[in-house]
Structure 1
């Protein structure tokens, strides 16, 4: 299968594309993925690193042909504010929650989320449900987000493995300690029975209460 191994950014290519792929926000952040263009051209996206693609980018095939990237329409919420200061305030709250946000001339766009919509309404903003391509601010954010997700997943697996190993080790040590103590008590009873000739009732009673 022919591969796409490079990306040409927006406005950096001019040749007619051989085909077009229509991708939503999630599918525009991939490193390796089989794709089929709208005209039926099949190829393998095979990049060295995951790249946050934008609508208008082009994927470069091994033979030099270009595949245009089109951002697919998605269910979004457009947030309208009273003035620039109000917009900045709402944008700050969205950023504080690490939400991918698209900045428009007259508002902000996010993926639909009833909880966030209620929050921005509480801040005095208006919300409008729309269908549109989602092109949030900053490819760097997307890369950092996916890197964080991978790191978190890796750390979780490591922590779980470490905790499991530690628990197993502790259980093994406890078993060994109990086994050793049992032998110790047996030896003690053996010595006690051989060498003591006085009444054992009080001593035995003390052992029973340990």
Structure 2
């Protein structure tokens, strides 16, 4: 079985050089170690030190030098919008406080469909619009970035007490 030996970031290689494609939704593209089935039916091994999101347009370099293009499937999302930029920032804080993967755009935030989150956003005065698109959320401050990876311990408290009077 062929193995992936390198990942070329989207835009850094000529997509016309792709020998095959790996097509998946967000869950299928956020991996550490798995056998991937390519569009042709060929199976290849992905074995990374830590989980990462394979972005649309990334190139997976195989040990025989072929490059496989990553294609992100569209999936049902919710586009969160607000009345003002400040209101959108406040909604972003509430979404982030729930550790939700999110795509941050200038005038909206895209999150995966979730009726509980939709009710929360509506209760905060935000608006939810159904949307279908490939989902590639922010990777997070502690995600590995090439050689500059960091670890993030969750030993800190996640209590949500009101400390405003202190």
Secondary structure, aligned partner of 1:118: helix
TM-score (norm 1): 0.63
Q: How does 1:30-45 map to 2 (within 5 A)?
A: 30-45=31-46
Q: Describe the shift of the 1:69–1:41 C-alpha distance in structure 2 as closer, same or farther (beyond 3 A).
A: same
The superposition leaves residues 57-110 of structure 1 with CA deviations (integer Å, 9 ceiling, x where unpaired) of 111100111111111112211111112111111001101111111112320111
In structure 2, the residue matched to 1:187 is none
Structure 1: gaps spanning 5 or more residues: 152-210
Q: How does 1:1-210 map to 2 (within 5 A)?
A: 1-14=1-14, 16-138=17-139, 140=141
The superposition leaves residues 118-143 of structure 1 with CA deviations (integer Å, 9 ceiling, x where unpaired) of 11111111101222211111255667
For residues 5 and 45 of structure 1, what CA distance do their matches in structure 2 show? 8
For residues 113 and 52 of structure 2, what CA distance do their matches in structure 1 show? 24
Secondary structure, aligned partner of 1:59: strand
When the two chains are superposed, the root-mean-square deviation of aligned CA atoms in Å is 2.3
- Structure number having the greater strand percentage: 2
Structure 2: gaps spanning 5 or more residues: 145-151, 156-166
Runs ≥4 in structure 1, deviation > 4 angstroms? 139-143
Secondary structure, aligned partner of 2:12: coil
Q: Describe the shift of the 1:49–1:6 C-alpha distance in structure 2 as closer, same or farther (beyond 3 A).
A: farther
By relative contact order (CA 8 Å, sep 6+), the higher-ranking structure is 2
**Structure of larger gyration radius:** 1
1:148 shift after superposition: 7.2
Q: Describe the shift of the 1:34–1:139 C-alpha distance in structure 2 as closer, same or farther (beyond 3 A).
A: farther
TM-score (norm 2): 0.79
For residues 140 and 70 of structure 1, what CA distance do their matches in structure 2 show? 24
